[in-house]
Amino acid sequence: PTIYAITPTYARWTQKADLTRLSQTLLHVKNFHWIVVEDADRKTLLVTKFLSNCGLKYTHLNAKTDQNFKLKDSDPNWLMPRGVAQRNTGLTWIRNNISPQTEGYLYFMDDDNTYDLQLFKEIRTTQLASAWPVGLSGGLKFEGPGFCKDGKVLSWYTAWKPERPFPIDMAGFAVNIKLLFQYKEAGFSNATPRGYLESHFLTGLHLTINDMEAKANQCTDILVWHTRTEKAKMKQEDKLIKLGKPSNPNIEV
């Protein structure tokens, strides 16, 4: 069975660095299909070239975030949900391009998280749906499954909006791909309140906590971290541009 991973990505100075780091982790994973969805009107040359050289089995898609929901440079990052249109486009691609009989798993990967290779082994043991804690998430050391017993999640460990049906980061769960064909409407919405993207998707698949298989050593191992890449500072570059002396534009960063 294949792990289908959907990664939204958008243009910023650290994009190629983030994609490089992620792809070189993924090169160690067998039976893996990377669905990369650019937040753009058209596929960019940078990502197109990057993917053709990355050595992974991939599908390259694009879907631009609706302008009404697009973060401005000055906005705090939590103002709008991120990756909504891109993940939906990835889901549609799976529903239209793989047979409903295909055995596989679905996992959502931010382009800037940090993944332990053991995680992919855990994902492959998923029957219906599985969960594990995500490090550095939810304003905590980790967030996600709390008390687990006999491979089942019995409670959640979270501090923020604990009433959420699934108080868990996007990186903290995987599902059997067959659910996408069973529940064809399941997906993401820009109207989702802050912190509810994951809950909206998982409840759309008719899942509850009772369905969640506890991975990562009864959810006591941290195998993924919600790291976030610092924005690159371009103060000197901007000065040089004003002086008419920008860095060599032929060097892709």
Catalytic residue numbers?
198
**Residue 143 sits in the site that holds ligand UGA (CB under 6 A):** no
Cα 27 to chain centroid, rounded: 17
**Residue 112 sits in the site that holds Mn ion (CB under 5 A):** yes
User: Interface residues for ligand UGA in 23-52 (CB under 6 A)?
Assistant: 39
Across-strand partners of 35?
6, 59
Minimum distance of Mn ion from residue 70's CB (angstroms): 16
**Residue 71 sits in the site that holds ligand UGA (CB under 6 A):** yes
What would the DSSP string read from start to end of 3-58? EEEEEEE--STTHHHHHHHHHHHHTT-SSEEEEEEESSSS--HHHHHHHHHS-S-E
Q: Which of 175, 197, 222, 224 binds ligand UGA (CB under 6 A)?
A: 197
Handedness of CA 238, 239, 245, 248 (dihedral sign): negative
User: Interface residues for ligand UGA in 105-134 (CB under 6 A)?
Assistant: 110-112
The residue (of 189 and 247) whose beta carbon lies closer to ligand UGA is 189
**Residue 158 sits in the site that holds ligand UGA (CB under 6 A):** no
Helices (H), the chain: 15-26, 45-53, 84-97, 118-123, 178-182, 197-204, 216-219, 235-242
Picked from ligand UGA, Mn ion, none, the partner binding residue 104 (CB below 5 to 8 A depending on kind) is none
* Structure tokens, 55: 């050595």
**Residue 122 sits in the site that holds Mn ion (CB under 5 A):** no
**Structure letter (DSSP) for residue 80:** S
Judged by the rule CB under 6 A, the positions of this chain that interact with ligand UGA are: 7-10, 39, 65, 71, 77, 81-83, 86, 110-112, 169-171, 197, 226, 228
